[in-house]
């Protein structure tokens, strides 16, 4: 084995010197390409003194004790590097080549140990110690490399390791462990790709697992910490390339494709006219027809360490989502040749689960290998059968979607349980301009409502007793009605749906109001639909309910899911990587919750929310979907109300009550999303409180943390810059402020996202329960004789014609089946402790307490689901509410709260 060089010359670089970095890092552990600036002159092995390398701020007493018991000598240190065997990169199954030869000579990785201390004589950084790592063994999917060093006694504490990859391919380094120090092993968690030196000569640096606030950074690491952040920010110019690790901001200007088709032109989202959060900048060229829009390519840049792991790439992205979006959807379009064809009978819908659809075979591996949950049987050599799983809701109760009590129950424990609001004023009234949209006062009258609740109370008493609730999409959708009605084969209304809280704690639907504003020279049209005891009235009620469910589906997918969890989270991630060092304890707290989000968002821009994508082609409000989400962001989104307790309070679903569990009294006691969510919220907040209070003992420590303040400032003024002047932004002056901010972010990407994502196929896999679009007006709006005749003779056909087409329904179902499943490498909240947390005893104990509380929540949810008195989550044919149950298994839908967003 080659002897490593020892470095004893400490005159390499002043503290404030700044080499120009080329690439940067985006992992949970500080790591970026960086030229070794420390000298490499040798020192004799005979130089000896007391060894204190690896101490984490030892006290003087400890130093003396160690010095009195250890021989004065240099120390032999062994570095063990764990590299993950990869499919696409370093360990690809290739013939023996030049990289294998490099391995044979023991020069796979060049490591350099970096001291955390400055030279006391010169005040400069100490020289690093170099050594080559040689492959020693393979264990399963991991390969270990080993390097040996002679560390001088006066080297000081190791604070970082430079890594240079001598191969011609990038390689994924899991961690590095240094053995041989009297204080025990030093761990450096990497979890990052390291580029080949032949692609980029600058080295990467990984810091040890000890976290430091900026003011506590060891002097020998200060320059590295500062220059890392400069590197991560980039210079704001040029097109980003695959493999880079640069984080910057841009507006959503790459959703349209005007050069390909003028119908695919879309406005830029972000700015005064269309406020929106910012995305990661890619710097692609502008389109020819619209100088404000970027061109679209086959790939969308995200920083290298934000990309999917190879496990997720092979099982989730490349083979599944990509196949559904880019292969299956076009195949369906080819099979279902008439895009406007609906379902003639309900039995035709059932055949999707019983018989399936013949589709052309997929070239290569075959549909069954790519989508085993959907493709059940091989019919013959020329076609395959796409047969959908029967959702659990349908398995338990074939007519669940038809029942009004289930329609009401799902507002509390279904796919979008965060839309219901308490009615606090009567009569209901629009805030829109009546000169544009017609009379403001609702057509739902007191007399209409009291016909149904007279046996319980009056409307006035119901409001006082908090018994009236509403799904209100009237003012939110009405401005888009004229636009959407200009599209082919679709329609839209503004809607209000009123519910009454019964003595049993369940909700009863009372009335649906559909409104069309003045349009095409016609005055405002509106009608109230109620449950009746005649066939005409009940069929009109069912048709009106289908319209409301389409509104619910669009709002859920565009706002509750995409906007609140995916879109609004990306600025937190960009700002964290630009302003918080990977050594920063808050970076290490938040980073596990950001895993894969940027890659998923890029995938969404590529095929889900883009012009002509799945959302626009299959959900209300069609091609105006993203403009609608921009409208809602500007009108309703505010960071403080993203916290679960404040969200409940803002909707009137709870009031503060110190004597009540979680400090809140719920307006509906049996509200599964809120009941389970508040337990989870408290567990997260207690964990964050223990973590934050450990590192920040006083308000001064918060205010003086320049990185933390810069992060929060950039989140507000750049990432969410269109709302930078809003008065509701939380201040960041105290530990309690930070606890609330961090808890809110963690809740949104874990608990809230789980609640609105993993039940998608369960509740929408049978699409009549949640139609994504309504294609026909209700037959009583400006009635046409032919339509009325069909409605009178075959009302079922009128309802089916209102539902999505075969093509719309099947492609949404295929996508939802994929998106509802957990990834094989999913990491669940509280399940696995981060390495940096484990090394700090106080943090480790706090995490164990957090994990224990989540295990208790598992039992609490099981107990609640078994309680037949909780009718909103238990009962005959009812799917138990498990969306906030903390843990799950790969491939399981309907439960499990991952650390981070997973589509």
The one catalytic residue in 274, 757, 769, 872 is: 757
Instruction: Give the CA count within 13 Å in the CB-facing half-sphere of 459.
Output: 18
The DSSP letter of residue 252 is B
- Closest-CA residue to 255 (of 648, 555, 605, 566): 605
The DSSP letter of residue 46 is T
Q: 463 with 423: CB under 8 angstroms?
A: yes
- Closest-CA residue to 355 (of 387, 321, 320): 387
The one catalytic residue in 561, 593, 662, 720 is: 561
- Written as six digits, the tokens of 437 are 């949209």
- Closest-CA residue to 667 (of 501, 503, 504, 509): 501
The one catalytic residue in 195, 566, 591, 593 is: 566
List of E strands, 703-798:
none
Nearest-Å Rg of the Cα atoms of the chain is 30
Q: Is 474 a catalytic residue?
A: no
Strand partners of residue 137: 144
Q: At what angle do helices 706-714 and 570-579 cross, to 10 degrees?
A: 150
Q: Is 449 a catalytic residue?
A: no
- Written as six digits, the tokens of 591 are 């980073």
Distance CA 894, CA 879 (A): 10
Residue entry with tokens 């009812």: 878
- Written as six digits, the tokens of 596 are 């894969």
Q: Is 566 a catalytic residue?
A: yes
Strand pairing category for 249-250 and 279-280: antiparallel
Q: Is 903 a catalytic residue?
A: yes
The one catalytic residue in 7, 720, 753, 822 is: 753
Distance CA 570, CA 161 (A): 30
Distance CA 233, CA 540 (A): 57
724-742 residues labelled b (16+ CB within 10 A) or e (exposed):
eeeeebbebebbebbbbbb
**C-alpha distance across the termini of the chain, in Å:** 48
- Closest-CA residue to 389 (of 819, 892, 817, 824): 817
Distance CA 468, CA 460 (A): 10
- Closest-CA residue to 234 (of 35, 38, 33): 33
Distance CA 1, CA 86 (A): 27
Q: Is 757 a catalytic residue?
A: yes
The residues, any chain, with a CB within 8 Å of residue 142's CB and separated by 6 or more, are 82, 83, 84, 85, 174
Residue 624: burial class (beta carbons within 10 Å; 0-12, 13-18, 19+) = buried
Distance CA 879, CA 884 (A): 14
Q: Is 472 helix (H, G, I), strand (E, B) or coil?
A: strand
Residue entry with tokens 């996508």: 815
Strand pairing category for 279-280 and 109-115: unpaired
Q: Would you call the peptide bond into 621 cis, given omega within 30 degrees of 0 as the criterion? A: yes
DSSP-assigned states of every residue in 694-706: HH--SHHHHHT-H
Active site residues per annotation = 561, 566, 753, 757, 903
């Amino acid at each position: 084995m080659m002897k490593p060089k020892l470095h004893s010359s400490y005159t390499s670089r002043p503290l404030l010197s700044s080499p120009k970095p080329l690439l940067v890092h985006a992992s949970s552990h500080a790591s970026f390409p960086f030229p070794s600036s420390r000298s490499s002159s040798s020192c004799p092995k005979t130089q000896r003194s007391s060894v204190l390398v690896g101490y984490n701020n030892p006290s003087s007493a400890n130093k003396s004790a160690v010095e009195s018991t250890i021989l004065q000598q240099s120390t032999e240190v062994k570095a063990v590097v764990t590299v993950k065997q990869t499919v696409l990169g370093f360990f690809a199954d290739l013939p023996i080549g030049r990289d294998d030869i490099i391995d044979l000579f023991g020069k796979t990785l060049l490591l350099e140990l970096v001291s955390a201390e400055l030279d006391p004589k010169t005040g400069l950084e100490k020289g690093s110690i170099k050594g080559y790592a040689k492959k020693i063994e393979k264990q399963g999917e991991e390969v270990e490399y080993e390097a040996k060093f002679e560390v001088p006694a006066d080297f000081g504490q190791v604070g970082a390791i430079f890594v240079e990859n001598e191969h011609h391919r990038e390689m994924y380094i899991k961690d590095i462990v240094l053995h041989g120090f009297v204080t025990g092993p030093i761990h450096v968690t990497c979890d990052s790709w390291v580029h080949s030196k032949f692609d980029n000569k600058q080295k990467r640096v990984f810091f040890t697992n000890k976290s430091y606030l900026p003011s506590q950074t060891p002097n020998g690491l200060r320059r590295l910490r500062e220059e890392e952040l400069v590197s991560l920010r980039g210079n704001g110019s040029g097109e980003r390339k695959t493999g880079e690790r640069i984080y910057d901001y841009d507006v959503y200007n790459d959703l349209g494709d005007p050069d390909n088709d003028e119908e695919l032109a879309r406005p830029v989202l972000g700015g005064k006219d269309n406020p929106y959060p910012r995305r990661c900048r890619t710097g692609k060229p502008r389109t020819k027809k619209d100088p404000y829009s970027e061109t679209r390519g086959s790939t969308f840049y995200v920083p290298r360490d934000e990309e999917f792991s190879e496990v997720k790439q092979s099982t989730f992205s490349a083979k599944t989502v990509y196949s559904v979006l880019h292969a299956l959807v076009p195949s369906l379009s080819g099979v279902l040749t008439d895009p406007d064809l609906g379902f003639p009978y309900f039995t035709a819908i059932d055949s999707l689960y019983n018989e399936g659809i013949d589709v052309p075979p997929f070239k290569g591996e075959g549909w069954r290998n790519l989508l085993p949950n959907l493709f059940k049987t091989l019919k013959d050599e020329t076609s395959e059968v796409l047969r959908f799983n029967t959702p659990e809701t349908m398995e338990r109760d074939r007519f669940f979607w038809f029942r009004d009590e289930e329609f009401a129950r799902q507002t509390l424990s279904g796919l979008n349980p965060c839309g219901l609001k308490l009615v606090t004023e009567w009569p209901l009234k629009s805030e829109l301009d009546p000169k544009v949209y017609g009379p403001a006062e609702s057509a739902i009258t007191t007399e209409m409502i009291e016909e149904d609740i007279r046996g319980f109370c009056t409307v006035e008493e119901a409001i006082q007793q908090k018994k009236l609730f509403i799904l209100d999409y009237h003012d939110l959708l009405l401005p888009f009605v004229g636009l959407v009605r200009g599209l082919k084969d679709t329609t839209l209304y503004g809607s209000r749906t009123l519910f009454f809280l019964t003595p049993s704690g369940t909700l009863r639907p009372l009335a649906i109001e559909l409104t069309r504003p003045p349009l095409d020279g016609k005055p405002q049209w509106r009608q109230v639909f109620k449950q009746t005891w005649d066939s005409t009235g009940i069929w009109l009620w069912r048709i009106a309910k289908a319209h409301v469910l389409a509104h619910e589906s669009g709002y859920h997918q565009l706002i509750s899911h995409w906007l609140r969890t995916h879109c609004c989270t990306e600025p937190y991630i960009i700002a964290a990587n630009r302003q918080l060092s990977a050594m920063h304890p808050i970076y290490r707290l938040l980073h596990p919750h950001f895993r894969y989000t940027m890659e998923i968002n890029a995938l969404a821009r590529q095929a889900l929310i883009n012009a002509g994508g799945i959302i626009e082609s299959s959900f209300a409000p069609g091609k105006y979907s993203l403009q609608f989400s921009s409208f809602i962001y500007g009108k309703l989104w505010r960071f403080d109300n993203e916290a679960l307790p404040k969200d409940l309070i803002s909707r009137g679903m709870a009031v503060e009550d110190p004597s009540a569990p979680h400090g809140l009294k719920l307006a509906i006691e049996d509200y599964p999303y809120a009941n389970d969510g508040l337990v989870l919220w408290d567990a997260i907040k207690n964990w964050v409180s223990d973590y934050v209070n450990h590192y920040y003992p006083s308000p001064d420590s918060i205010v003086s943390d320049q990185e933390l303040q810069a992060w929060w400032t950039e989140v507000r003024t750049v990432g969410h810059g269109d709302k930078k002047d809003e008065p509701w932004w939380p201040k960041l002056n105290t530990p309690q402020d930070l606890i609330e901010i961090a808890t809110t972010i963690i809740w949104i990407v874990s608990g809230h996202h789980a609640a609105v994502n993993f039940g998608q196929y369960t509740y929408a896999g049978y699409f009549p329960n949640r139609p994504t679009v309504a294609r026909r007006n209700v037959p009583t709006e400006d009635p046409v004789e032919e339509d009325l005749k069909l409605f009178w003779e075959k009302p079922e056909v009128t309802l089916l014609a209102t539902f999505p087409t075969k093509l719309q329904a099947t492609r949404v179902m295929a996508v939802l089946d994929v998106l509802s499943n957990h990834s094989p490498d999913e990491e669940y909240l509280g399940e696995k402790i981060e390495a940096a947390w484990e090394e700090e005893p106080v943090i480790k104990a706090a995490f164990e307490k957090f994990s224990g509380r989540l295990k208790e929540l598992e039992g609490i949810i099981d107990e609640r689901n078994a309680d037949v008195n909780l009718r909103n989550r238990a009962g005959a044919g009812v799917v138990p509410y498990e969306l906030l149950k903390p843990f799950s298994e790969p491939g399981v839908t309907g439960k499990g709260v991952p650390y981070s967003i997973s589509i």
